[in-house]
Amino acid sequence: MGISERKEREKQEMKERILNAALSMFIEEGYEGTSIRKIADAIEYSPATIYLYYKDKDELLYDVQGEAFDKLYRVFSEEAVSKSPMKRLEQICESYIRFGLTHPELYGLMFTYNSPMNVVDDLPIWTNAEAAFRFLYDTIEASVQRDLLRFTDIREAVVSIWAFAHGLISLHNSCRMKVIPFDSPEQLEQLIYKLTHQFLNFVRALP
């Protein structure tokens, strides 16, 4: 029966159409500007149709988050290519920061907004971030094993480095850096990159 296969394919294509519309709407209009009704409008279907392919909005945003993590993983693969673990770690951090600063809404969906994480409770594990995370983890593991970092525990190193980079991006994107006076937004951005490298020097193994 080739019919049921075609139907399955068509169902998948429809789901992708919804996902793609949601993704580009999210990038262009952000979290608040992305509604089920507007997505339905964009693909020229009724709002109720979306619920034939996604249980609820959280589930749809979970898939959008997945697309965002795919993007980040692709950036890592392209930009963090050094064979030296410490250099690669620096490249990862730099790429991560740049990604967070240039795609603030996507970054929010990946690391801040609750909505997509409501799905994870009903799921075995949170797989969306896995590939990008492993990229970071493996690099840090290599660095720790070669005694290039002041950390002895890999997991502690990962959490620390991740938290530092995320903290900078998060405070920047949420405008909380406004407590501190800066000459220009560019000066603040430059400082963020500088502090990231400074941090990596602080945690570098002492000579």
Residues that bind DNA (CB under 7 A): 1, 3-4, 6-7, 10-11, 14, 34-38, 44-49, 51-52, 56-58
Answer for which of 47, 156, 190, 205 binds a copy of itself (CB under 8 A) is: 156
Whole-angstrom Cα distance, residue 62 to residue 122? 12
Whole-angstrom Cα distance, residue 35 to residue 37? 5
Nearer to DNA, 43 or 142 (CB): 43
From the CB of 116, what's the least distance to a copy of itself, in Å?
10
Contact letters (x/-) for a copy of itself, 60-99, by CB under 8 A?
Answer: ----------------------------------------
Rounded to 5 degrees, what are φ and ψ at 204?
-65, 145
Residue 122 touches which member of DNA, a copy of itself, none, C-beta under 5-8 Å by kind: none
Give yes or no for residue 117 binding a copy of itself (CB under 8 A). Answer: yes
Provide the CA 184 distance to its chain's centre, in angstroms.
26
Residue 7 touches which member of a copy of itself, DNA, none, C-beta under 5-8 Å by kind: DNA
AA identity, residue 79: E
Whole-angstrom Cα distance, residue 77 to residue 124? 27
Whole-angstrom Cα distance, residue 89 to residue 137? 10
Crossing angle between the packed helical segments 57-79 and 130-145, to the nearest 10 degrees: 40
Contact status, residue 131 vs residue 69, Cβ threshold 8 Å: yes
Residue 24 touches which member of DNA, a copy of itself, none, C-beta under 5-8 Å by kind: none
Check residue 31 and give left, alpha or beta (phi > 0: left; psi -120 to 50: alpha): alpha
Candidates 15-23, 79-87, 138-146, 155-163; binding stretch for a copy of itself (CB under 8 A): 155-163
Residues that bind a copy of itself (CB under 8 A): 111-114, 117, 120, 125-126, 129-130, 133, 150, 155-156, 158-160, 162-168, 170-171, 174-180, 191, 194-195, 198-199, 202-203, 206
